[in-house]
Amino acid sequence: MEARRLDFPALDQDVNGNRLVYLDNAATTQKPRAVIGEIRRFYERDNSNVHRGVHELSNRATLGYEGARKRAAEFLNATSAEEIIFTRGTTESINLVASAWGARHLRRGDRILLTEMEHHSNLIPWQLLAARAGARLDFVPVTGDEGLLDLGRIDELLDGTRLFAFTHISNALGTVNPVGELCRRAKAAGAVTLVDAAQSAGHAPLNVREIGCDFLALSAHKMAGPTGMGLLYGRRELLEAMDPYQGGGEMISSVDFGGSTWAAVPHKFEAGTPDISGAFGLRAAMDYLDGIGRDRILEHDRALGAYAYARLAEIPGIRLLGPAEGRAGLVSFVLGDVHAHDVVMLADRVGIALRGGHHCTQPLHRKLGVESTTRASFYLYNTAEEIDRLADVLREIKRYFSR
């Protein structure tokens, strides 16, 4: 994996006079030359709008854009490319479901089930929907600092639930949830499921048919692809029964002054000119990841997550959040009385990029009794030596504040 670092030009730099150690991958990953080059090639050779043109550049752009949709279906093992809707990312994908599915199917008194570890992107859209529809939100509890879901309460909470939306990997805890089991139990209770795969799509194999989910959302920029690009997977029969998310060009079949009819899925949900270059970049990212092997990336991430947890646990006074075993490739912690932003600022002075704050999980942080945490998150180009350097710097920071 260390040889792969050469594929990522952003890693080849010094920050504040020190070699960059980039440990902020849960926020966004760096991009390989294969992705950067494909986006550049599109703008240099194929730049045109899609679907509506008949000239050569438009044909190329359309073939590439729809080829990316087919590639995404293969990447997720969807039944067909028509089950892939391109969006700006996980956030828009979840909002699309809340608006287009929720507005039609949820009524006053219906229950939406989430978990206490959800990112704001998988919480606020449901809060807005619940307020509009008169539905109510319930939450699967998280069991303390170990950060596991209370699976013993799942069936009780699923009773009467219309929709169950949950994260695959917690961006704050590193918890890997048993998404297949959760989907099976939800299906048995008659609930529709949505999986937030923002933190797992670029780190592990994903098979939507094996998982058994109804919807799945992901972002390209967290899996070595470009920002502003993502997708929603949805079972076709559900997509067919949903109303459009937005109106405009491209999503129509016929328009008159008195009314309009809609294009077939997935185009019904893609109003206006899409992020064409983003689709080219996403396809290149998927090819790059599969060229390495997502099983290998998963093994590498798990090893780094376990190693980081063990190394940081050696620091006196540190509080580690999330499971000690079976975690993903990230570690969140509280370094004694040192504020997370001070930790991040001081680490940056020696070239280590971390993330400090509530990580868009304010309710979870409140439950755990902390205002903010520092997070180190890893990807395929990170090494155990970088974790050793992080541990040494954290010890120095703690000693500095203990004077």
pLDDT of residue 53: 82
How many CB atoms are located within 10 Å of the residue 403 CB? 4
Instruction: Give how far Cα 208 sits from Cα of 78, 292, 326, Å.
Output: 6, 21, 22
* Tokens coding 39: 């986006």
CB 211 within 8 A of CB 183: yes
| Coil vs helix vs strand at 330 | strand
pLDDT of residue 91: 98
Amino acid identity for residue 156 in this structure: E
* Tokens coding 164: 């169950």
pLDDT of residue 127: 98
Kind and range of the H or E element at 389? Answer: helix 384-401
Region of 160 (left: φ > 0; alpha: ψ -120 to 50; beta: rest) is left
**Which member of 352, 360, 387, 397 is catalytic?**
360
What is the value of pTM for the model shown? 0.97
pLDDT in tens, the chain (403 residues): 778 899 999 999 999 999 999 999 999 999 999 999 999 999 999 999 999 888 999 999 999 999 999 999 999 999 999 999 999 999 999 999 999 999 899 999 999 999 999 999 999 999 999 999 999 999 999 998 899 999 999 999 999 999 999 999 999 999 999 999 999 999 999 999 999 999 999 999 999 999 999 999 999 999 999 999 999 999 999 999 999 999 998 898 899 999 999 999 999 999 999 999 999 999 999 999 999 999 999 999 999 999 999 999 999 999 999 999 999 999 999 999 999 999 999 999 999 999 999 999 999 999 999 999 999 999 999 999 999 999 999 999 999 998 7
CB 234 within 8 A of CB 192: no
Dist. CA 81–CA 71, nearest whole Å: 8
Q: Is 183 a catalytic residue?
A: no
Measuring CA to CA, which residue among 353, 335, 345 is closest to residue 402?
A: 335
Main-chain phi, psi angles of 38, to 5 degrees:
-70, -40
pLDDT of residue 145: 86
* Tokens coding 51: 């679907």
How many CB atoms are located within 10 Å of the residue 27 CB? 15
Dist. CA 281–CA 224, nearest whole Å: 9
CB 282 within 8 A of CB 68: yes
Dist. CA 340–CA 1, nearest whole Å: 30
Stated length of the chain: 403
Kind and range of the H or E element at 373? Answer: strand 373-377
Instruction: Give how far Cα 292 sits from Cα of 4, 206, 285, 398, Å.
Output: 9, 15, 11, 38
pLDDT of residue 2: 72
CB 281 within 8 A of CB 229: yes
* Tokens coding 182: 């959760």
pLDDT of residue 176: 98
Domains (ranges, CATH) in the chain?
2-23+294-401 (3.90.1150.10), 35-291 (3.40.640.10)
